[in-house]
Protein backbone atom coordinates (compact mmCIF):
# COMPACT_ATOMS: atom_id res chain seq x y z
CA UNK A 1 0.00 0.00 0.00
CA UNK A 2 1.41 3.40 -0.95
CA UNK A 3 1.97 6.18 1.55
CA UNK A 4 -0.88 8.19 0.02
CA UNK A 5 -3.23 5.21 0.42
CA UNK A 6 -2.12 4.76 4.03
CA UNK A 7 -2.71 8.44 4.79
CA UNK A 8 -6.16 8.33 3.18
CA UNK A 9 -7.02 5.16 5.10
CA UNK A 10 -5.88 6.68 8.39
CA UNK A 11 -7.55 10.09 7.97
CA UNK A 12 -10.40 9.33 5.55
CA UNK A 13 -9.14 11.57 2.73
CA UNK A 14 -6.18 13.73 1.82
CA UNK A 15 -8.13 16.90 2.54
CA UNK A 16 -8.95 15.58 6.02
CA UNK A 17 -5.27 14.69 6.48
CA UNK A 18 -4.24 18.24 5.58
CA UNK A 19 -6.78 19.60 8.05
CA UNK A 20 -5.62 17.17 10.74
CA UNK A 21 -1.96 18.02 10.12
CA UNK A 22 -2.50 21.28 12.01
CA UNK A 23 -2.35 19.08 15.11
CA UNK A 24 1.26 18.10 15.88
CA UNK A 25 0.29 14.51 16.79
CA UNK A 26 -1.45 14.02 13.42
CA UNK A 27 1.39 15.78 11.60
CA UNK A 28 3.81 13.30 13.21
CA UNK A 29 1.60 10.43 12.01
CA UNK A 30 1.75 11.73 8.42
CA UNK A 31 5.53 12.12 8.62
CA UNK A 32 5.81 8.61 10.10
CA UNK A 33 3.85 7.13 7.19
CA UNK A 34 6.03 8.95 4.65
CA UNK A 35 9.31 8.02 6.35
CA UNK A 36 8.26 4.39 6.74
CA UNK A 37 7.30 4.26 3.07
CA UNK A 38 10.84 5.35 2.19
CA UNK A 39 12.25 2.79 4.62
CA UNK A 40 10.20 0.03 2.98
CA UNK A 41 11.46 1.12 -0.43
CA UNK A 42 15.05 1.03 0.83
CA UNK A 43 14.59 -2.39 2.45
CA UNK A 44 13.14 -3.93 -0.72
CA UNK A 45 16.53 -3.76 -2.40
CA UNK A 46 18.81 -3.94 0.62
CA UNK A 47 20.85 -6.82 1.97
CA UNK A 48 20.04 -8.04 5.50
CA UNK A 49 22.76 -6.05 7.30
CA UNK A 50 21.54 -2.84 5.67
CA UNK A 51 17.85 -3.14 6.62
CA UNK A 52 16.40 -0.08 8.30
CA UNK A 53 13.86 -0.22 11.12
CA UNK A 54 10.53 1.58 10.76
CA UNK A 55 9.92 4.60 12.96
CA UNK A 56 7.07 5.35 15.35
CA UNK A 57 5.12 8.58 15.80
CA UNK A 58 6.97 9.01 19.09
CA UNK A 59 10.34 8.82 17.27
CA UNK A 60 9.11 11.33 14.71
CA UNK A 61 7.82 13.63 17.45
CA UNK A 62 11.21 13.60 19.14
CA UNK A 63 12.93 14.60 15.91
CA UNK A 64 10.61 17.40 14.84
CA UNK A 65 11.63 20.53 16.70
CA UNK A 66 10.74 24.19 16.50
CA UNK A 67 14.00 24.64 14.58
CA UNK A 68 13.12 22.21 11.79
CA UNK A 69 9.29 22.24 11.78
CA UNK A 70 9.05 24.58 8.78
CA UNK A 71 11.57 22.49 6.83
CA UNK A 72 9.76 19.23 7.63
CA UNK A 73 6.41 20.80 6.73
CA UNK A 74 7.82 22.04 3.41
CA UNK A 75 9.17 18.53 2.65
CA UNK A 76 5.79 16.95 3.41
CA UNK A 77 4.01 19.42 1.15
CA UNK A 78 6.53 18.74 -1.63
CA UNK A 79 5.71 15.03 -1.40
CA UNK A 80 2.12 15.94 -2.23
CA UNK A 81 3.19 18.27 -5.02
CA UNK A 82 2.29 21.43 -3.14
CA UNK A 83 4.91 24.13 -3.05
CA UNK A 84 5.08 27.10 -0.76
CA UNK A 85 6.75 30.31 -1.84
CA UNK A 86 10.22 30.78 -0.44
CA UNK A 87 11.90 34.10 0.28
CA UNK A 88 13.23 34.38 -3.28
CA UNK A 89 9.75 33.85 -4.72
CA UNK A 90 8.15 36.50 -2.52
CA UNK A 91 10.89 39.15 -2.58
CA UNK A 92 10.04 42.20 -4.67
CA UNK A 93 11.82 42.10 -8.00
CA UNK A 94 13.57 45.13 -9.38
CA UNK A 95 12.26 46.20 -12.75
CA UNK A 96 14.57 46.01 -15.73
CA UNK A 97 16.68 49.10 -16.22
CA UNK A 98 16.69 50.15 -12.56
For 55-84, how does the pLDDT look when each residue is reduced to its tens digit (9 = 90+)? 998 999 899 999 999 999 999 888 877 644
Residue 91 domain-assigned (yes or no): no
Residue 8 domain-assigned (yes or no): yes
Angle (nearest 5°) at CA 82 between 2 and 12: 45
The pTM assigned to this predicted structure is 0.75
* Per-residue pLDDT, 52: 93
Residue 14 domain-assigned (yes or no): yes
Residue 59 domain-assigned (yes or no): yes
Please check the confidence at residue 43 and state whether its pLDDT lies above 70. yes
Total domains in the fold of the chain: 1
Residue 97 domain-assigned (yes or no): no
Residue 93 domain-assigned (yes or no): no
CB-facing half-sphere around the CA of 29: CA atoms within 13 A: 16
DSSP run (H or E) holding 18: helix 14-20
- Mean pLDDT is lowest, of 4-8, 44-48, 53-57, 58-62, for 44-48
Please check the confidence at residue 2 and state whether its pLDDT lies above 90. no
Q: Which domain covers residue 7, as residue numbers?
A: 3-83
Percent of the chain exceeding pLDDT 70 equals 83
Residues with Cβ within 8 Å of 56's Cβ and at least 6 positions away in sequence, in order, are 32
Question: Distance between CA 20 and CA 23 in Å, rounded?
Answer: 6
Amino acid sequence: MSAIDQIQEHFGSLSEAFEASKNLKDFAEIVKILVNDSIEEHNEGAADPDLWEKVSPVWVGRHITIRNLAEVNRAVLEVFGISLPNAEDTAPKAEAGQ
